[in-house]
């Protein structure tokens, strides 16, 4: 499998609103659309466009959020994961399974409406890595 396009960098934040203030002030950047909840993943997310990828801001939905522990260690937020695209999520899952790269949980629908899964940072040089099926172009 070839290294695909970087879809986004995931950045954890205690407050998407505060982070958006910073992106506006520093980079004149507006969110692509309003922040929205992903209750199944325990997070609220919001995307900001750079010319060749997106920044995904991630805020915990509650104290049990999977990013709550990250924010305890990094109260101001910080780089949480990187997300690379693949053409076929099931083929990618079989590829990583075959290599013994640990996959965190089931394949599920991500923030872009396409299937995703996460690879364990301990098998990825310390980097939590999301694998995402490329969104299909609208016809």
Q: Under 8 Å CB-to-CB from 5, ≥6 apart: which residues?
A: 53, 84, 85, 134
CB 5 within 8 A of CB 134: yes
**Nearest-approach distance from CB 27 to a copy of itself, in angstroms:** 4
Cα–Cα dist 5/9, whole Å: 12
Q: Is 92 exposed, middle or buried (0-12, 13-18, 19+ CB in 10 A)?
A: buried
State the minimum distance, in angstroms, from the CB of residue 131 to a copy of itself. Answer: 10
State in angstroms the smallest separation of the CB of 88 from a copy of itself: 15
Task: Enumerate binding residues for a copy of itself (CB under 8 A).
Answer: 1-6, 9, 11-13, 18-19, 22-23, 25-29, 48-53, 55, 74, 76-79, 82, 84, 96, 99, 101, 121-127
Which one, 40 or 73, has the nearer CB to a copy of itself? 73
Q: Which residue among the candidates 56, 59, 85, 130 is catalytic per the annotation?
A: 130
- Clarify whether 133 is annotated catalytic: no
How far apart CA 82 and CA 125 sit, in angstroms, is 12
Active site residues: 130
């Amino acid at each position: 499998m070839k290294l695909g396009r970087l879809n986004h960098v995931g950045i954890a934040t205690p407050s998407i609103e505060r982070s958006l203030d910073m992106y506006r002030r520093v980079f004149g950047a507006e969110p692509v659309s309003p922040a929205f909840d992903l209750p199944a993943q325990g997070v609220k997310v919001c995307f900001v466009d750079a010319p060749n990828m997106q920044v995904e801001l991630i805020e915990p939905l509650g104290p049990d959020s999977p990013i709550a522990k990250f924010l305890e260690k990094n109260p101001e937020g910080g780089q949480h994961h990187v997300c690379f695209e693949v053409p076929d999520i099931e083929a990618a899952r079989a590829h990583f399974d075959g290599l013994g790269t640990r996959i965190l949980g089931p394949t599920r629908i991500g923030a872009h409406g396409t299937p995703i899964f996460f690879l364990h940072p301990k098998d990825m040089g310390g980097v939590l890595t999301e694998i995402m099926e490329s969104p299909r172009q609208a016809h």
